[in-house]
Amino acid sequence: MQIQTRAHGLGQKLHNAAGWLTHHIEHRSLKLCLLLAPLLTYLIESVSRHSPFKGIVWLGEYPVPFLFNTLLILTTLLLASIFRRRLFFLLLTASVWLFCGVVNGILLSMRVTPFGFSDFRNVEQAIDIVDIYMKPWQIVLCVAAMVLTVALLVWMGVKAPRYAANYKKGGAALLASILALVLVGGWAIDNGHISEEFGNLADCYRQYGFCYCFTKSVFDQGVDRPADYSDQLVQDVIDEMEEALPDPEVPADPTLEHPNIIIVQLESFFNVNRMKGIDYSGNPIPHFTRMMEENTSGYFTVPSIGAGTVNTEFEVLTGMSLDYFGTGEYPYKTILRESVCPSLAYDLKDYGYSTFAIHNNNGTFYDRHKVYPNLGFDHFLSIEYMDNIRENALGWAKDSILTEQILKCLDSGENSDFVYTVAVQPHGRYPTEPTGDAYPITASGLETMEEKNQWEYYVGQLYETDQFVAELTRALDGRGEPYICVFYGDHLPSLDILDEDLSMGNIYQTEYVIATNLDSYTANENIYAYQLSAKVLEMAGLEGNVLFDLHRTAKDDPEYQRDLELLEYDILYGDQSAMGGSLPYKPTEMQMGVDPITIEKAYIKDGRLYVEGTNVTWESYIFVNGKPWDETTRIGKNTLCADAEGIQLGDAITVVQMGGDGEPLSATNPLLLN
């Protein structure tokens, strides 16, 4: 009886508390929004900085961005005041902001690039590699938190009380908040407290606040139309370039022999000897540093730090600058999914080149298998089409396999070849504890054992990648064919490196080197990633499209960047006047792999289905009548088998190459079982 009485009393207290909360939300929802908005802003910035104290420091250092971010959140919260289920919509809006802020904090613990809207397009890729960056208990905790939040919101959606609609009061408050947001925003932009132009993305997030920058990334996509854009202005730029261009040294004749061109993008690779205060037991990159002394080289300015590999790749292949695209945008996930684009590959195809892309990672990563045809590649050799793969302690494929793959492309035909290769081995995250491997290089001068472990792991991966650089160069020299081979780092690693930590250069600069057996020579110079292909074409004595012409003729022109933005907009979003009114390219019928996978024989023996063919790998799977069949096992080099139960004569057998995320990359022609 006493227990029942206490339970009844507790239930009555909860009922009274709920009634009190309902009453106050109904009558004081505007005050609640005014309190909640600055609190959310502070919490989000604290999570971004991984410190509640640093959140307070940001508030004091940047009061105008704090006010603007608060008004932005307040405006979204006040939308709830015009609904009958105010409590539900208020919690939903607050939860969305907190979710985005927490995701940003998690990402910033793994990389330098903050969370932007474009990351939603990379969810599949993030799921593929989440186990590399997070421990199992962290993954479970994140999933549990999301499930709990969704469950709470669903419960609130069903149980939340309904209030009388107050469109007059709620609407007036919402309009007042929008007006304040516009006025404060305009004043803040005019006085330099926030900016519409983003240079260093990470710095902009830190200074202007997450909410403003993330919101900008939602609406800011593509290249904006320049205010003075016109067909005549584009033509004027083209005319100036044509006057400045020298006569072509080599006509676009596919029958002539041209040098093989190999470009290798090295993941998170840079000259770590530039780091102040860190000493090594040996040079982690001896071959690369020697090559820089003996060949054309310099600093290589890239568009990102710690992540964004594919954006450096985009700049190199297209000659376009990411500065003029949307905030945090990945063109591989936006415009290049639906449109062809001028590129080095297309230009070289005019000279008869066969064009290859290689990546020792999943073919679906950043949708390369869909984008590369729009960049002019004939073949894409991803990790699913490679054998004898060795992995490092974190599960990334080692770069040593790439020499064999590049030579396979060069040996595949009689034409000159363009081989674009993306290496992956030194990819983060960098473990704070020993991996059990013996590191070839030790590091000293680091403050903590965790930092020492990270750096020694990282420079150990660099050392092995440097061995690959030397091996590939020797192999190219031994072939006796003319070649130009470029190596460069795509960005600095995600190791909290600041400008003041470097003895030379800045955190947006890696290094490049151009090795060749040609007599041609170009002077050492520091370049941007989008200028590299123009330099390579010039070295080979070949002509390129208007973007590469611009880089060759106008780098020192005061209107250079204006003209670059103008051409980027015109080609991808405008009238394409620079290309004669339309893009003269069509997507290639790209083949996955170099040598096709084939089926030569299929038969049943002892209750097992055996499929024999050519060029199968560990990522080859048996499909029956268009559907995956049981678990495929590889036997020997070119034989697959699976359980034959349920398979009948006349069934169509195919072998499908599956991407890392389970998406089919290619399939053989069907073979009827007989």
What tens digit of pLDDT does each residue of 138-179 get?
667 767 777 777 777 676 666 666 666 666 777 788 899 999
Q: Are residues 480 and 547 in the same domain?
A: yes
Mean pLDDT of the 274-286 span: 96
pLDDT the model gives residue 31: 80
Comparing 246 with 460, the larger pLDDT belongs to 460
CB-CB neighbours of 124 under 10 Å: 16
Residue with tokens 């929004």: 33
The tens digit of pLDDT for each residue in 527-563 reads 999 999 999 999 999 999 999 999 999 998 999 999 9
**Mean pLDDT across the chain:** 87
Give the residue from 82, 72, 8 showing the smallest Cα distance to 40.
Answer: 72
The tens digit of pLDDT for each residue in 422-433 reads 999 999 889 989
Q: Are residues 147 and 48 in the same domain?
A: yes
Q: How many domains does the chain have?
A: 3
Task: Tell me the sheet residues that pair with 599.
Answer: 613
What backbone phi and psi angles, to 5 degrees, belong to 443? -125, 145
Q: Is residue 461 classed as helix, strand or coil in its secondary structure?
A: helix
Comparing 270 with 1, the larger pLDDT belongs to 270
| Residue 342 counted as domain residue | yes
pLDDT the model gives residue 636: 83
The number of angstroms, rounded, from the C-alpha of 167 to the middle of its chain's C-alpha atoms is 44
Banded model confidence at residue 196, pLDDT cuts 50, 70, 90: confident
Specify whether the CB–CB gap between 380 and 324 falls below 8 A: no
| Residue 439 counted as domain residue | yes
DSSP one-letter code for 375? G
Banded model confidence at residue 329, pLDDT cuts 50, 70, 90: confident
Q: Are residues 191 and 319 in the same domain?
A: no
| Residue 230 counted as domain residue | no
Residue 390 has pLDDT above 90, yes or no: yes
Residue 23 has pLDDT above 70, yes or no: no
Task: Tell me the sheet residues that pair with 351.
Answer: none
Query: Which of 109-113, 177-181, 367-371, 667-671 is predicted least confidently?
Result: 109-113
Q: How far apart are CA 134 and CA 140, in angstroms?
A: 10
Q: Give the whole-number percent of the chain exceeding pLDDT 90.
A: 63
Q: Is residue 379 classed as helix, strand or coil in its secondary structure?
A: strand
| Helix orientation angle between 210-219 and 63-78, rounded to the nearest 10 degrees | 60
Banded model confidence at residue 441, pLDDT cuts 50, 70, 90: very high
SS (H, E, C) 86-121: HHHHHHHHHHHHHHHHHHHHHHHCCCCCCCCHHHHH
| Residue 211 counted as domain residue | yes
Q: Are residues 356 and 495 in the same domain?
A: yes
Counting Cβ atoms within 10 Å, is residue 282 exposed (0-12), middle (13-18) or buried (19+)?
A: exposed
pLDDT the model gives residue 20: 45
Task: State if pTM tops 0.85.
Answer: no
Banded model confidence at residue 519, pLDDT cuts 50, 70, 90: confident
Handedness of CA 213, 216, 221, 225 (dihedral sign): negative
Q: Are residues 607 and 552 in the same domain?
A: no
Amino acid letter, residue 674: N
- Domain span including residue 179: 18-219
| Residue 308 counted as domain residue | yes
pLDDT the model gives residue 125: 56
What backbone phi and psi angles, to 5 degrees, belong to 664? -65, 135
Q: How far apart are CA 101 and CA 114, in angstroms?
A: 10
pLDDT the model gives residue 19: 47
The tens digit of pLDDT for each residue in 468-507 reads 999 999 999 999 999 999 999 999 998 989 899 999 999 9
pLDDT the model gives residue 254: 60
Q: Are residues 134 and 180 in the same domain?
A: yes
Amino acid letter, residue 394: L
Comparing 448 with 522, the larger pLDDT belongs to 448
Give the residue from 373, 367, 339, 117 showing the smallest Cα distance to 220.
Answer: 117
pLDDT the model gives residue 18: 45
Residue 300 has pLDDT above 80, yes or no: yes
Residue 17 has pLDDT above 50, yes or no: no
Q: Are residues 397 and 520 in the same domain?
A: yes
What backbone phi and psi angles, to 5 degrees, belong to 656? -115, 135
Q: Are residues 186 and 282 in the same domain?
A: no
Q: Are residues 427 and 361 in the same domain?
A: yes
pLDDT the model gives residue 380: 98
Q: Are residues 187 and 304 in the same domain?
A: no
Banded model confidence at residue 639, pLDDT cuts 50, 70, 90: very high
Residue 1 has pLDDT above 70, yes or no: no
Q: Are residues 281 and 369 in the same domain?
A: yes
Task: Tell me the sheet residues that pair with 528.
Answer: 301
pLDDT the model gives residue 499: 92
Mean pLDDT of the 240-255 span: 71
Of 204, 219, 234, the position where a domain reaches its end is 219
Q: Where are the beta strands (DSSP E) in 502-646?
A: 509-516, 527-528, 591-592, 598-605, 608-614, 620-624, 627-628, 633-635, 639-643
| Residue 11 counted as domain residue | no
Residue 357 has pLDDT above 60, yes or no: yes
| Residue 234 counted as domain residue | no
| Residue 98 counted as domain residue | yes
Q: Give the whole-number percent of the chain exceeding pLDDT 70.
A: 88
Q: What is the CATH number of the domain that holds 606?
A: 2.60.40.10
Q: How far apart are CA 497 and CA 15, in angstroms?
A: 54
Q: What is the CATH number of the domain that holds 480?
A: 3.40.720.10
Q: Are residues 86 and 130 in the same domain?
A: yes
